Amino acid sequence: MGTRVAASADLDSTATIGDGSTVWHLAQIRENALLGENCIVGRGAYIGSGVRVGDNCKVQNYALVYEPAVLEDGVFVGPAAVFTNDHYPRSISPDGSIKRGEDWEAVGVTCRMGASIGARAVCVAPVVIGRWSMVAAGSVVIADVPDFALVAGVPARRIRWVGRAGVPLIDAGDGLWRCPETDTRYRESNDTLIEESK
């Protein structure tokens, strides 16, 4: 199948790009980053040093994924979304000298399988974005997101449940939820949602 990398992309020689992946114009993929198979990295997107991206992921135009982020398989990162990596960002130390890499501890955002991050959302590390969850466009995530949750706002809060298809689930009563697209059933307990086996 092969990979496609635009001539204007900045791809470090130590980065690994999986078969079938595409890296578009002006994207930057830093040293030791790992991009899985069949991924798309959009125009102007940034993948930081050592970031791990699973198979079948999409990182849309101008998204910024700073190290040490981890994206599991099937993650969607919308246009201009940002994953931060510093608890207490400063350009300088208390003595006024510029901070260097060894002067702070990088923390990362982890996106579990199938998660989707909306356009211009900001995920403030360290947070875990749960399996098949969705972060609404423009949201600011400052706490972990449960599996199958749709979160929105500043700060982001759960407003609905969603299934693997990404559409809001229908309340079937007694803690049961149903996907109107796939008819998959889910059970809610203690503010978590579990997909029922078929």
- Residue 109: CB atoms within 10 A of its CB come to 27
Q: Is the dihedral of CA 32, 37, 40, 43 positive or negative?
A: positive
Tokens of 26: 């002006």
Pairing of strands 185-189, 192-195: antiparallel
| Contact between residue 25 and residue 9 where contact means Cβ atoms under 8 Å apart | yes
The per-residue b/e assignment along 89-104, b for 16 or more CB within 10 angstroms, e otherwise, is: eeeeeeeeeeeeeeee
CA distance 143 to 157: 9
The model's pLDDT over 67-125, given as tens digits with 9 standing for 90+, comes to 999 999 999 999 999 999 998 999 999 999 999 888 888 999 999 999 999 999 999 99
Confidence check: pLDDT of 29 > 70? yes
Give pLDDT, residue 198: 63
Give CA–CA dist 173/165, Å, rounded: 21
What token pair was written down for 101?
């890499």
pLDDT in tens, 123-180: 999 999 999 999 999 999 999 999 999 999 999 999 999 999 999 999 999 999 999 9
pTM value is 0.95
